[in-house]
Homo-oligomer: A and B are copies of this chain.
């Protein structure tokens, strides 16, 4: 084995400098830990998305660049593609699959990925926008909204397929981001909406009744950052969001966001859902404290409250250990405890 490696090193020197011919960077993250949920046995699970990505840029001259970004998502505990609701396997490149151009005009991309609103809100969510239970991103930070109601069952709630992205240059701290999707059917499940199970408002594999779109504006000034965003999905549900963050001191970032979801196109009652999240990231030497509290309230329905605390201890720039504790209260309490490791490569 050692000889084998030695041979590889030599080959790497010149003969097979093959990989150096490539124009794409391979990267990824792996995250696994032990999780305890109320009324459930200890399980092996994840805190962060697990990614294996391929990213490249090509200088086309005149300040123009071509971009490609493909990102596999997977589950280390079972070795499968990323799993969504009901155990459905998500697309191979669940993270994103986009090609584009970048220049003085900004950046234009085509493919599948997080919407403009979803890409922006992450910076204002105290758990890095991670998908795990202690985080607020997948529920409260978007008021329970989903960006892809007509996409394949089990898909994430944060992406557009068949979409076009535009990101403006950052001018005086201000940036505009927009995403618009076609109305293509994506093999999604039926959405009953204002119909009946027998006669759903959107039958299985429906086309969108509008072009889904997402817009966000961000503004940075010194220690402060602000966001205002609006999104409409394929079943004409709207999400409004405003958010702000402030570095009180370089090691302490406070953040807050307010969201409102409007489902009047698919609901007769309980059409409005309001939610807010406040939180902080506090760097303490090699450690970082994450904390947040939030509330979600659909009108006419009981509210959901969530309190989460997390701690990250860095073993290096690429590797950290973490511990999280969370309580989510709707009718009942749902407690969640996790310890694990996160490694970037």
Contact = CB atoms under 8 A, between A and B. Distances in A.
Contacts of A333: none
A334 interface: no
**Interface centre among A170, A186, A343, by most B CB within 10 Å?**
A343
Contacts of A170: 1-2
A28 interface: yes
A130 interface: no
Contacts of A43: 162, 182, 184
Nearest to A63: B9
A337 to B, nearest CB: 14
Interface string A15-30: 1111111111111101
Interface in A53-68: 54-61, 64-68
A221 interface: no
A93 interface: yes
A110 interface: yes
A323 interface: no
A102 B8 contact: yes
Given A3-B1, A22-B345, A52-B70, A59 B15 contact: yes
Given A2-B3, A27-B22, A91 B68 contact: no
Given A16-B21, A58-B345, A187-B87, A92 B74 contact: yes
A4 B169 CA distance: 12
Interface in A282-321: 315-319
A111 interface: yes
B111 A92 contact: no
B31 A99 contact: yes
A146 interface: no
B8 A315 contact: no
Contacts of A2: 3, 6-7, 10, 169-170, 175
A96 interface: yes
Given A59-B12, A345-B23, A1 B167 contact: yes
Contacts of A111: 30, 32, 44, 76-77, 79
Contact of A107 (B5, B32, B175): B5
Contact of A78 (B17, B79, B161): B161
Interface string A35-60: 00000011110000000101111111
Contact of A110 (B20, B76, B93): B76
Given A11-B56, A58-B343, 7 more contacts: A8-B23, A30-B99, A70-B74, A78-B112, A79-B96, A79-B161, A101-B341
Chain A to chain B: the 3 pairs with minimum beta-carbon distance, closest first: A12-B57, A12-B20, A79-B91
